């Protein structure tokens, strides 16, 4: 069974005074299997952020539904949404969203503390993750003391420490330099190879070339998708570039 089923998603924003309607998503359907690494690409305004927000249960679709392990999100009560998000989803954001009032360690602990875990438990979970992400020396530091790449690694640690079913990443390399980007993408691949399901929204061809599958969104619809198959990252990069060119020149749906 697929871990995530997205069925006929439609999202219409109504402007404040009820005048214009903006259709952000028209008809989006796809599914994600266990352990998959999916990148979602599209230009600005294509609806990918809306899609991610709906996947994250931060926003509600106008039509359609999402099933996480067969359970529809629309049936979760408003009150339980936060704890649902905390227990099932991990988030990595473009601008890190670390709280500067906490040390990196406390930032990583935040979701666990909110779920009421005890300190020993949390520490045991943190150790292997910190080693894996190479931040065990930085745990006592505060966000303002470390680089962007290090901040993002802490954010990844925060996202995966709850063992989420789904890791959602929104432009995770958007604010990083190329070296940090490389190591961050390697981290995502490593995590994925350990069985973590990842959905990443991105602009960057390079970031997407590490994924197992790339979905292209245009005008609120899934326009195209590419599977990696046996291709290397470089071949994947080439495929994605070709598709993007096609998208930009306005080709019809092909294949």
Residue whose CB is less far from another protein, 78 or 255: 78
Residue 217: in which H helix or E strand, if any? strand 213-218
Work out whether 86 is an interface residue with another protein (CB under 8 A): yes
Residue whose CB is less far from another protein, 127 or 186: 127
Which residues, 180 to 219, sit near another protein by CB under 8 A?
A: none
Residue of 2, 3, 76, 122 that binds another protein (CB under 8 A): 122
Residue of 19, 20, 44, 100 that binds another protein (CB under 8 A): 100
Contact between 59 and 48 under an 8 Å Cβ cutoff? The reply is no
By CB atoms closer than 10 A (0-12, 13-18, 19+), residue 152 is: buried
In angstroms, the CA 84 to CA 78 distance is 10
CA dist 36 to 118, 134, 155, 188, 229, Å? Answer: 31, 24, 21, 12, 12
Residues 6 or more apart whose Cβ sits within 8 Å of residue 163: none
Work out whether 49 is an interface residue with another protein (CB under 8 A): no
# residues near another protein by CB under 8 A: 31
Residue whose CB is less far from another protein, 8 or 81: 81
By CB under 8 A, name the binding residues for another protein: 58, 79, 81-83, 85-86, 91, 93, 97-103, 106, 109-111, 113-116, 118-119, 122, 142-144, 158
């Amino acid at each position: 069974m697929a871990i995530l089923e997205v069925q006929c998603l439609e999202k219409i924003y109504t402007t404040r005074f009820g005048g214009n309607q903006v259709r952000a998503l028209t008809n989006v359907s796809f599914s994600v299997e266990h352990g998959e690494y999916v990148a979602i690409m599209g230009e600005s305004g294509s609806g990918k952020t809306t899609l991610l927000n709906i996947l994250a249960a931060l926003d509600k679709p106008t039509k359609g539904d999402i099933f996480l392990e067969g359970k529809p999100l629309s049936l979760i009560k408003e009150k339980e949404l936060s704890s649902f998000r905390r227990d099932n989803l991990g988030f990595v954001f473009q601008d890190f969203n670390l709280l500067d009032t906490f040390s990196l360690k406390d930032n990583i602990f935040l979701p666990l503390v909110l779920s009421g875990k005890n300190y020993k438990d949390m520490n045991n979970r943190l150790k292997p993750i910190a080693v894996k992400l190479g931040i065990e020396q930085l745990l006592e530091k505060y966000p303002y003391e470390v680089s962007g790449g290090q901040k993002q690694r802490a954010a990844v640690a925060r996202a995966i420490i709850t063992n989420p079913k789904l890791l959602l990443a929104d432009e995770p390399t958007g604010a990083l330099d190329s070296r940090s980007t490389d190591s961050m993408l390697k981290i995502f691949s490593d995590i994925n190879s350990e069985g973590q399901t990842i959905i990443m929204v991105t602009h960057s061809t390079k970031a997407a070339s590490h994924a197992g599958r790339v979905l292209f969104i245009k005008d609120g619809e899934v326009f195209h998708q590419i599977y990696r198959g046996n291709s290397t990252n470089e071949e994947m990069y080439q495929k994605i570039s070709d598709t993007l060119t096609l998208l930009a020149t306005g080709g019809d749906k092909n294949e």
